[in-house]
């Protein structure tokens, strides 16, 4: 049943679920392009993933780094190796998200270039 609903929505809207923020305001939301970025990341197309929403690729890299350091901290019995205690990664992710949002909306409003079709 769920597959049929998703297929219906994909047929109706083209790519999948529409961005309500974009439909209402005409602007991109911070997450616009995220679904496409995940799809391209899963298919190994890192450049396209980065283009549509750089936070997705950044999040994947941080997730892998977190997993590796967590495993190493357990193997070496050094809990200080685990990166989860650092808020720097969150702040960088928020900065990337904000910069992407501002840049794409600037290009849309000031230049008339829709970066996400």
Tell me the C-alpha distance between 61 and 57, whole Å. 6
The residue written with tokens 């928020």 in the block is 94
Question: How do residues 70-96 score in pLDDT, each as one tens digit?
Answer: 888 888 887 776 666 678 888 999 999
Q: What pLDDT does 100 receive?
A: 94
pLDDT band at 66 (very low <50, low <70, confident <90, very high): confident
Q: Determine the pLDDT at residue 106.
A: 95
For residue 54, pLDDT beyond 90:
yes
pLDDT in the model for residue 77: 83
Q: How many Cα atoms sit within 13 Å of 36 on the Cβ side?
A: 17
pTM for this prediction: 0.76
At 7, the pLDDT band (50, 70, 90 cuts) reads low
Q: Estimate to the nearest angstrom the gap between the alpha carbon of 57 and the chain centroid.
A: 7
Whole-number average pLDDT of the chain:
84
Question: Can you tell me the distance from the alpha carbon of 98 to that of 106, in angstroms, rounded to the nearest whole number?
Answer: 12
Model confidence band, residue 12 (pLDDT cutoffs 50, 70, 90): low
pLDDT tier for residue 6 given thresholds of 50, 70 and 90 = low
Instruction: Tell me the HSE value of 16 on the side-chain side, using a 13 A CA sphere.
Output: 8
In this predicted structure, what is the pLDDT of residue 59?
A: 94
């Amino acid at each position: 049943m769920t597959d049929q609903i998703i297929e219906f929505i994909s047929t109706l809207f083209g790519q999948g679920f529409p961005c309500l923020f974009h439909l209402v305001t005409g602007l991109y939301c911070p997450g616009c392009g995220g679904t496409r970025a995940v799809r391209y990341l899963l298919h190994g197309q890192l450049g396209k993933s980065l283009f549509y929403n750089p936070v997705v690729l950044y999040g994947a890299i941080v997730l892998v780094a977190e997993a590796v350091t967590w495993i190493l901290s357990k193997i070496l019995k050094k809990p200080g190796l685990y990166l989860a205690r650092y808020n720097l990664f969150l702040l960088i992710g928020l900065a990337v998200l904000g910069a992407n949002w501002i840049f794409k909306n600037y290009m849309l409003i000031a230049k008339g270039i829709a970066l996400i079709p």
